[in-house]
Chain A
């Protein structure tokens, strides 16, 4: 099953680093994406806010350095929880881009 999203966005804000009970670092952040895309043959403005999650060593590495930066991230989508169907992007790769 395909589930892959690549997105270039500004990190609007990031939470303080937290840890799972097993001790893995977790970084939660909100991404603001703005671009122009084609739809039905027309150019249009696109904008969205995406909640994203970075777990593991990368979370510790990037913690505190992402807010306000432009990044290209890739990862998969999952719903927030059993009861909350809002989508969350689970980031696997982060790359800084000149914005």
Chain B
């Protein structure tokens, strides 16, 4: 029997550190194993190459099984996981398991389709099956024309699997690795001078870290610049990682890439894939078979042995930040990865985040600007504010807005009405006694969804029937208050009876094929007015939008969340950018009660840089990120008193060590109650990242220890670089 020694194993549990196990196998870092953990059997990964010394091996449990159907995880992935676990102060095991596709997180072996092709050997070629063996003969004939994949062989005959296995045994058939196809590039539209200059600048660095910001206004043709750059990287035999917000991962986008590079394997990675499909894409990327990986935030961890370029499109988008478990920001990890693997990274956006703008200002990132629309004839839309303070609104719409919509419908031009609230109305009210439809589990209101006669909480998912009478006073005549997309759609149907409406929000796009149908209708000219939420503000090209109208946007002007103004401005710049693409000049009408607000004034001038500078200056004066580094320790319990007591005690313990870190709180979260839990938080801020992280390190172990006294009643989590307060 071989000598036994201890190895370190990372498992998916909420405990810091790795666990020691005994084995006689020569295990290496990155190998997948099954180990006993308490009463369970779980999947784990070896984290060290060198056997652990000085451990009392007698009491250790044994590694039960090694899964060797895949090579050990590459060192680059393990290094990235270690960095993420350190930076976000998250358990290494949970961090690693967040980075992996689901199939590799189970304690079972995975089955991978054999990618090799079937071909006949000399012996096989020489021996033609007799005509009465129809299946064998058909397969033999098909293989005369060249090697076949498993799937293609099954297409010839349903019995192909058995026949080929026989032939393999008899030496009549063999398996060969598919040859990598040479890069093919489909014809591309020509670049304008700005795009060309950006492309040349982006191509200057190879094989070294170089962070770029591609700041291109909506419609300036950023994607075409990516495509050209990717072409150069692929031609050099390297792989490309493209991160996009989930909502932008449309069949249209994928088609642009697969269409441009028809011989390149393009892998898509996102959380809605079936386990097997995601594993296949992930392994193809890892084994170097895929040239391009396009994915949502989770794709940032995909191993790519020949990585040559990272692109983060719409880098300002909030969906790059995970809001539970490992609260990582995929853009930030992508930048770290680019530095680590010495490749260029491009952060693209029409409205870069303030963090990114600050990095540009500090000279850390190089900015390339696309200030014109790619299409020669396309011009930026005219933006007008419609002051709603003294005018009567009809169903939430101002008269000039209705008139503008009518004119577009009459001319056969397409308009978009943007309102960031789905459902029928944000609340049901009793005008007799003042009752409002509150969520029983959250400090939020239930939104009316009239078609189903339901009220839903958009925060916790609570759902109940609209009550027939007021639960407090019995009044029958309850009123929906305010506007949602459904109500607006109904109102527009009355105001513009001849218009063909299409509503786009999370409720109408639940189904897989929904976006295809939207694009089909829009491009077939079957829509006069699009009504929808922020989904419409993202990178979709709806062609000739002549008018964009924005309703009820003022909420973001005076929010308690210091990021609200940044988000609103980016959203309005993006939604306004939907107007006037292609040939039709566009117009944007924004209904507001605050027309003098600097945000709207900057919007009128299309002045992103100016307003970004204003916001950065405000953040600097107020001591908010990106002027400082921030972390949030949240706690929740059934009663806020429990959460506050825990945080107060934690603060008292941590504060003596808070060298150069400002600690504030505990304060109730902006939304105190969520899903029956009440929440409070401590905020940590520092001008020094090192000082902040030194404190967080201590804080996490303190919190882990101090939370034990409260048992399951209390939950806590740390959010480094929080995006939401």
Contact = CB atoms under 8 A, between A and B. Distances in A.
B433 interface: yes
Interface string A33-47: 000000000000000
A81 B450 contact: no
A53 B477 contact: yes
B438 to A, nearest CB: 15
B428 A24 contact: no
Which of A21, A22, A53, A56 has the most chain B CB atoms inside 10 A of its CB?
Answer: A21
A20 interface: yes
Contact of B477 (A23, A55, A82): A55
The prevalent SS among residues of B at the interface is loop
A71 interface: no
Contacts of A24: 468, 476
A21 B448 CA distance: 8
25 contacts: A20-B468, A20-B476, A20-B477, A20-B478, A20-B479, A21-B424, A21-B425, A21-B428, A21-B450, A21-B466, A21-B478, A22-B465, A22-B468, A22-B478, A23-B453, A23-B466, A24-B468, A24-B476, A26-B476, A26-B477, A55-B476, A56-B476, A78-B432, A82-B433, A82-B434
B422 to A, nearest CB: 16
B432 A81 contact: yes
B467 A22 contact: yes
B431 interface: yes
Nearest to A18: B477
Given A26-B477, A53-B477, A55-B476, A21 B431 contact: no
Interface of B: 424-425, 428, 431-434, 448, 450, 453, 465-469, 476-480
Contacts of A20: 468, 476-479
Contacts of B465: 22
B434 A21 contact: no
Contacts of A79: 432
Nearest to A24: B476
Interface string A1-36: 000000000000000000011111010000000000
Contacts of B477: 20, 26, 53, 55
Nearest to B448: A21
Nearest to B480: A21
Contacts of B433: 82
Contacts of A82: 431-434
A79 B480 CA distance: 19
Nearest to A21: B466
B483 to A, nearest CB: 14
Contacts of B466: 21-23
Contacts of B453: 21-23
A82 to B, nearest CB: 5
The 6 closest A-B pairs by CB, nearest first: A81-B431, A22-B468, A21-B466, A22-B466, A55-B476, A21-B480
Interface in A47-66: 53, 55-56
A40 B555 CA distance: 59
Interface magnitude class on chain A: 10 to 19
B576 to A, nearest CB: 33
Contacts of B448: 21
A56 B479 CA distance: 15
B497 to A, nearest CB: 15
Given A20-B476, A55-B477, A82-B431, 13 more contacts: A20-B468, A20-B479, A21-B424, A21-B480, A22-B453, A22-B467, A22-B478, A24-B468, A26-B477, A53-B477, A78-B432, A81-B431, A82-B434
B665 to A, nearest CB: 37
A12 to B, nearest CB: 21
A55 B467 CA distance: 15
B455 to A, nearest CB: 8
A60 B476 CA distance: 15
B432 to A, nearest CB: 6
A56 B477 CA distance: 10
A92 B431 CA distance: 20
A84 B419 CA distance: 30
Nearest to A28: B477
A20 B428 CA distance: 10
A56 B453 CA distance: 17
A55 B476 CA distance: 8
A55 B468 CA distance: 12
B654 to A, nearest CB: 48
Contacts of A22: 453, 465-469, 478
A82 B436 CA distance: 13
Nearest to A23: B453
A31 B478 CA distance: 23
Contacts of B479: 20-21
Nearest to A83: B431
A24 B468 CA distance: 8
Contacts of A56: 476
A33 to B, nearest CB: 23
Nearest to A80: B431
A78 B474 CA distance: 12
Nearest to B469: A22
A24 B477 CA distance: 8
A82 B475 CA distance: 12
Contacts of B469: 22
A26 B478 CA distance: 11
A81 B433 CA distance: 8
A24 B470 CA distance: 13
A81 B431 CA distance: 5
A78 B476 CA distance: 12
Contacts of B434: 82
A21 B465 CA distance: 10
Contacts of B432: 78-79, 81-82
A22 B478 CA distance: 8
Contacts of A26: 476-477
Nearest to A55: B476
A34 B469 CA distance: 34
A23 B454 CA distance: 11
A55 B479 CA distance: 14
Nearest to B424: A21
A26 B424 CA distance: 19
Nearest to A88: B477
Contacts of A78: 432
Nearest to A78: B432
A34 B711 CA distance: 74
Contacts of B450: 21
A83 B469 CA distance: 19
A15 B479 CA distance: 16
Nearest to B431: A81
B12 to A, nearest CB: 45
A56 to B, nearest CB: 8
Interface in A64-94: 78-79, 81-82
Contacts of A55: 476-477
A72 B425 CA distance: 37
A51 to B, nearest CB: 13
